[in-house]
Structure 1
Amino acid sequence: MTQTLNIQHLPPEAIHSLMTHLPDYVKVALMAKATQLECSLEAAIEMAIASFLDSEAFSFEDCLLSQRLQESELVESPQSK
């Protein structure tokens, strides 16, 4: 029998509890990645776990690609006027 989980996202309390147990270098890397991607710490941790468990899950690279596309559109937009 397969169990279905109802929780879709990690609550902030779970993230903050987890963060207290992580090595400092992991905390710094996760916070830096969240800042770089302009997303919450919760989202950065969920992406890290998801990309580890499923190679086709939404990942940091997807976010970076999206950011690069948005930035290139902003750069191209003023030139096309």
Structure 2
Amino acid sequence: MQSQTLEELTPTAAQAILENLPERIRVAFINRSKEIDFPVEAVIEMALAGYLDSEAIGFVDCKPNRGRK
């Protein structure tokens, strides 16, 4: 059987990560996801990607309300 590589963090995996973080960091991830109206798993991915690759999309690039009326 061939294993499938996940390209996105699942909500279940994000929850497991959040449960193991210090409270202030967990709250910061949750609050940021609400501020930009993105799923918390996407916020965690952006934080990790920004740490690993300075050219990766990050929070500065997120403008979810741009273009909405």
Aligned equivalents of 1:52 and 1:37: distance in 2? 19
Equivalent in the alignment of 1:79: none
Give structure 1 stretches of 5+ with no counterpart. Answer: 75-81
When normalised by structure 1's length, the TM-score is: 0.72
Which is higher, the Rg of structure 1 or of structure 2? 1
Count of equivalent residues: 66
Percent identical residues = 33
Secondary structure of the corresponding residue to residue 56 of structure 1 = coil
Q: Show structure 1 runs of 4+ deviating over 3 A.
A: none
Question: Relative contact order (C-alpha < 8 Å, sep 6+): which is higher?
Answer: 2
Q: CA RMSD in A?
A: 2.0
Q: Distance in 2 between matches of 1:56 and 1:36?
A: 23
In structure 1, distance between residues paired with 2:39 and 2:58: 14
Give ranges in structure 2 of 5+ residues lacking alignment.
none
- More helix per residue: 1
State the shift of 1:6 in Å: 2.2
